[in-house]
Amino acid sequence: MSYVIAICHQKGGVAKTTTTLGLGAAFVERGVETLVVDLDPQANLTFNIGLEPGNAPFSAAEILTGEAAPARAAVESSLPGMDIIPSNASMLDIGRRMYQMPNYEFLLRRALEDTAMAEYAVVLLDCPPSVGPLTINALTAADLLIIPTQCEYYSIQALPDMFELVNVIRDRTNPPLTYRLLVTMFDGRGKFHATMLEQLRGYFKDGLLHTTIGFDTKLREAQAAGSPITIHAPLSRGASQYRQLAEELSPYVSAKSHVQTA
């Protein structure tokens, strides 16, 4: 089975989508077959990989309702080795439709258990900036939750709500869920971010990933160009930091495949 990573924070604009794409592209460079899933009705990930949301025959909505098997909904992205299950307009009311389905929290988990999904070593789930049924499905399906956060007051202030959500998910649908914080858009020029980072590290210790993603306008340009950072600006700081993140997470991925082959 694949190693499933949900990238989630109810706070908007903290680099969830940028991290999904940057990390996915960095895994692909390491030869890891990767699937990214756009669970956000805003469809930013779908746009950012250069796809027109309306063009794909299926979206994540149809794999949740069971109308399409995930292997049918997955399409090749512009990056060989990375497939995407896109988002489109049918995602807008999927939350409401899901609530009416029995055990709706497990719909994504069951879909990803499809044997055809085993070809992907890693599945990355890009979540919307809200705590609704899509996010609950992602956290129920995930082995690891990455919570991207800026070293900014409002981003950090929203963390306790995320931890509360993790506790609810562990209690009800996914007891082994692990989480790690990832600092994004770090600006090392002043003292403010450095001080916040030091406090986060002191408090969360190994719960905070060692890799930090710095502020890099190349990541913005890559988004506008519809291309992953490793292709758009392979020598940029953003590309090398997402490579470092993939390296840091590789033992997590191999630990799962070793357990399954043992």
Ligand X SMILES: Nc1ncnc2c1ncn2[C@@H]1O[C@H](COP(=O)(O)OP(=O)(O)OP(=O)(O)O)[C@@H](O)[C@H]1O
3-state secondary structure of 95: helix
Smaller CB separation from Mg ion, 16 or 232: 16
Q: Is 150 in contact with 184 (CB distance < 8 Å)?
A: yes
Smaller CB separation from ligand X, 108 or 134: 134
Q: Is 165 in contact with 131 (CB distance < 8 Å)?
A: yes
Q: Does 17 bind Mg ion (CB under 5 A)?
A: yes
How far, CA to CA in Å, does 181 sit from each of 73, 146, 149, 150? 30, 6, 7, 10
Q: Does 44 bind Mg ion (CB under 5 A)?
A: yes
Shortest distance, position 175 Cβ to ligand X, whole Å: 27
Q: Which does 184 bind (CB under 5 to 8 A by kind): Mg ion, ligand X, none?
A: ligand X
Q: Is 105 in contact with 59 (CB distance < 8 Å)?
A: no
**Binding-residue total with Mg ion (CB under 5 A):** 3
3-state secondary structure of 178: strand
**Binding-residue total with ligand X (CB under 6 A):** 20
Q: Does 129 bind ligand X (CB under 6 A)?
A: yes
Stretch that binds ligand X, among 62-70, 117-125, 158-166, 211-219 (CB under 6 A): 211-219
Stretch that binds ligand X, among 135-143, 199-207, 213-221, 247-255 (CB under 6 A): 213-221
Q: Does 220 bind ligand X (CB under 6 A)?
A: yes
Smaller CB separation from ligand X, 12 or 54: 12
3-state secondary structure of 184: strand
Cα separation of 31 and 62, whole Å?
29
Shortest distance, position 213 Cβ to ligand X, whole Å: 5
User: Which of 65, 67, 35, 32 lies closest to 246, judged by CA?
Assistant: 32
Token representation of residue 238: 């953003």
Residues forming the site for Mg ion (CB under 5 A) = 16-17, 44
